[in-house]
Amino acid sequence: MSWRPLRPRRDVARLAQRIGKLSDLDSTWPLVLRLEGVHVKLGAHHVLRGVDLSVAPGERVALMGPNGAGKTTLLRVAAGLLRPDRGRTLVAGQAADQAAARARLGWASASDGLDARLSARDVLSLWARAYAAGSERVSERAAIAARVDAAAAAFAIVEHLDAPAGTLSLGLQRRVILARASLAGAGGLLLFDEALAGLDAAASEVAWRALAGRTLLLATHDAAVAAQCDRTVRLNEGLLAAEGV
């Protein structure tokens, strides 16, 4: 272990800066996600009708419900991809559409794809660098490469890292997308929209092992996937219908 001499002026300034940042946070912090009275109307259809939902650090929440219940819309609102007509969304106390909130969000959806000509390493490197931006510890090239290798190892895609994404099977592409989402900081929130669908049993097991301890909100129709979660929330016609453990 190496020690560096104290530099009082600089260290105090940094501490003050951090305290300043903390004071900007909403009082709901340390909840990772908080939706308050979220209402979304698309055209004439009320897709979400005053939804309240919270996710605590380390919690895994499954979102279930029939087609058209509003699961994808709820996840898009949580990610800040869609602005609700009423209500608010906070990610770690920050408004979901702020860059600071996005730094704590990992997103994977069944409808996501990859640029067929880019390799998994290209994609993961960009995301690792993006999530590390502003962090002195991980902004070095070697540290970024280490994060990419760790994510690839966790999702068992190491031997496919340099192949163009277009040459990978759909299951492997899905694992790359999951690995990309997992690069969001350890305290971050992962939002999965049917992102585990299409994985075989072995890949699914690998994914769940890699996601251990992560905060997760996932939409699924699969009871087996929901069973891996701490809590299941049911949506029906834009309303939270039931909640169970």
Contact between 69 and 236 (Cβ < 8 Å):
yes
* E strand or H helix at 83: none
Contact between 129 and 144 (Cβ < 8 Å):
yes
CA separation for the pair 57, 197 (Å, rounded)? 24
Q: Does 49 bind another protein (CB under 8 A)?
A: no
Minimum CB distance to another protein smaller for 102 or for 160: 102
Q: Does 112 bind another protein (CB under 8 A)?
A: yes
Q: Does 99 bind another protein (CB under 8 A)?
A: yes
**What residues pair up with 95 in beta bridges, in sequence order?**
90
The correct pick among 180, 192, 196, 219 for binding another protein (CB under 8 A) is: 180
For residue 63, what are its two tokens? 């979102």
The correct pick among 111, 136, 137, 200 for binding another protein (CB under 8 A) is: 111
Strands 33-42 and 45-55, bridge-based pairing:
antiparallel
The correct pick among 32, 48, 92, 107 for binding another protein (CB under 8 A) is: 107
The correct pick among 83, 86, 209, 221 for binding another protein (CB under 8 A) is: 83
The correct pick among 48, 71, 127, 207 for binding another protein (CB under 8 A) is: 127
Contact between 77 and 89 (Cβ < 8 Å):
yes
Query: Which residues contribute to the site for another protein (CB under 8 A)?
Result: 79-83, 96-97, 99-100, 102-103, 105, 107, 109, 111-118, 122, 126-127, 129-131, 133, 164, 177, 180
